[in-house]
Amino acid sequence: MLLDTTAINQQRNFFDKHADLWLFGYGSLIWKADFAYLERQPAYITGWARRFWQASHDHRGTPEAPGRVATLIRAPGAVCHGMAYRITPDVLGPLDVREKNGYLREKVPLTFLDHNGGEAGQREGLIYLASGDNPAFLGEASLVDIAHQIANAHGPSGSNREYLVNLAKALRELGVEDAHIFALEKQLEST
C-alpha cells in the first residue's frame, strides 16, 4: 500500500506565517521548476546524500514497472548540492500533489552559494524527503540493477532515463560533483 502524503504535508506548514520561504531542490526540482518562484540560487545542505532509492509509480514508472527517483539519506559529513527557490507558501499545495508518493516536507538549514561558488549566507529552508519508512522506499541496490530498472521504466511524466540524464546534466552545469549520480549515468549509457 503506497502512502499519499498530500494531507500530511498540509499539516507540516512550517512556513505558513511567512511571506516567502526557500525550497531546496535536489532532484527533479533542479531542472524542472514548473512553479512560480521569486528568485533562485545554488545552495547546499549538509549531512544528506542524494540516492536513487525511491520508487516512482506515478511519474517515471507505473505500479507494474516502477522507476527509481531521487531521495536523500542521512550521511554525516556529506554535502548535497542543489538549487534553492524563494517561493510564496501557496506554491507548496500543487507540489504536495506532484510529490505525494511518500515525500514529506522537512525543514533543513541551507547554505547559499554566490556566482563564484563562495558561501553567501544561511537560512532555514524546506525539502521534500522520502525517508526509509515510506512504502515506496526501495533502498540500496547495485548500480547495474538500478540502471536496469531506470532503463526499463516509463511513466506519465516521461522516461526514467530522461529524469536521470537531466539531473546529471543540471548538476554538471552547476559544477557539482556527485559520484552516485555520475556513476549511475555512466552505467545507464551501457544499459
* Residues of the shown chain interacting with ligand BEZ in the complex, contacts defined by CB under 6 A: 25-30, 70, 99, 103, 128
Nearest residue (CB) to ligand BEZ, 101 versus 187: 101
Q: How far is the CB of 41 from ligand BEZ (least distance, A)?
A: 15
Q: How far is the CB of 190 from ligand BEZ (least distance, A)?
A: 26
Nearest residue (CB) to ligand BEZ, 74 versus 144: 74
Nearest residue (CB) to ligand BEZ, 83 versus 147: 83
Helical packing angle, 160-173 and 143-151, nearest 10°: 120
Nearest residue (CB) to ligand BEZ, 70 versus 73: 70
- In a 10 Å sphere around its CB, with 0-12 CB exposed, 13-18 middle and 19+ buried, how is residue 34 labelled? exposed
Closest Cα partner for 66 from 153, 139, 156?
153
Q: How far is the CB of 30 from ligand BEZ (least distance, A)?
A: 6
Has 99 been annotated as catalytic?
yes
Residue with cell 510529490: 99
CA gap 43, 153 in Å, rounded:
30
- List 99, 124, 173, 177, catalytic entry: 99
Q: How far is the CB of 140 from ligand BEZ (least distance, A)?
A: 18
Longest CA–CA separation in the chain, Å: 49
Residue with cell 546529471: 168
| Centroid of chain to Cα 49 | 11
Residues marked as catalytic: 99
